[in-house]
Amino acid sequence: MQPIEEKPEVNSASAESDSQTQSKSNTEGNGIFVKVVAGALVLGGIALGVNLMNQGPASLVQDAKTDRLHMKVEYSYEQFMETDVEKINGKISLPVKIEKMSPILVSDLEEEKSTLRDIKVYDFLESDGDVVEISVNNLRLGFFNLTNAEQVIPVPFYKDGGTQILVKAVDDGGGGVTFAMKGSGREFKTKVMQVGEQHSWIFGK
């Protein structure tokens, strides 16, 4: 005769209570997780907002190459000192001679559509003979040989519609073209560029 195996009795009330406790624990755990994630998102949003406030007004623009939206940050041109210029018979007399400057930029200055402000440009790594072309709103400002010494050049900033300063690498003295410019207490740098690459900034009032 086979011995009868005794099975322990299961207390249904106790099992139900344990199940409810486990479910409650899971719910509370999920709730804590959701709160932590939500908190992190809020803090991240605040940090992003503060960062953008420090940089300037931003807007979402579409990148034609990647078809994705990215942030375009606009900086204020007022951080650059206004250039002292004089007019002779209605013609602007530039304090610094700039070769191959677009006549449209000169004309806009004379018609007071824009004002000149000083920027300091230089090579932020080795002074090895890098050359860049600087354009303002797609109009050539000029070609500049970069050294570690800061060169002060007058740049037209437009009163309406914003101003884009675009820097194109023209000649590499070795190890890539490295351009930087300075305003009043602020520095703007490109990445290390290869010949033909370019970098731009947008400036509003």
In a domain, 120, yes or no: yes
Query: And the tokens for 90?
Result: 């209605």
**CB contact burial 108-135 (16+ within 10 A = b; e otherwise):** bbeeeebbbbbbbbbbebeebebbbbbb
Sign of torsion over alpha carbons 82, 85, 89, 91:
negative
**Three-state DSSP class for 1?**
coil
> If you average pLDDT over residues 51-55, what whole number do you get?
40
Q: Are residues 88 and 164 in the same domain?
A: yes
> If you average pLDDT over residues 169-178, what whole number do you get?
94
Neighbouring C-alpha atoms within 13 Å toward the C-beta of 18: 6
> If you average pLDDT over residues 134-160, what whole number do you get?
93
In a domain, 3, yes or no: no
Q: What is the pLDDT of residue 164?
A: 93
**Three-state DSSP class for 143?**
strand
Closest CA to 130 of 102, 96, 167, 165: 167
The boundaries of the domain holding residue 124 are 75-204
In a domain, 130, yes or no: yes
Domain count, the chain: 2
In a domain, 196, yes or no: yes
Q: Are residues 51 and 16 in the same domain?
A: yes
Rounded to whole angstroms, how far apart are CA atoms 22 and 27? 9
**Three-state DSSP class for 94?**
coil
Q: Are residues 94 and 153 in the same domain?
A: yes
Q: Are residues 47 and 79 in the same domain?
A: no
**Three-state DSSP class for 147?**
coil
Q: Are residues 34 and 91 in the same domain?
A: no
Q: Are residues 15 and 100 in the same domain?
A: no
Q: What is the pLDDT of residue 48?
A: 39
Nearest-5° Cα angle at 193, 189 to 198: 80
Q: What is the pLDDT of residue 91?
A: 76
In a domain, 110, yes or no: yes
Strand partners of residue 131: 145, 171
Report whether pLDDT(124) > 50: yes
Q: Cite the beta strand spans of 26-146 per DSSP E.
A: 58-63, 68-76, 86-88, 91-93, 114-122, 131-136, 139-145
Q: Are residues 91 and 48 in the same domain?
A: no
In a domain, 148, yes or no: yes
Region of poorest pLDDT, from 65-74, 79-88, 148-157, 185-194: 65-74
Strand partners of residue 139: 136
Task: Kindly write down the DSSP assignment for every residue of 95-112, as one continuous string.
Answer: SS--TT--HHHHHHHHTT
Report whether pLDDT(101) > 70: yes
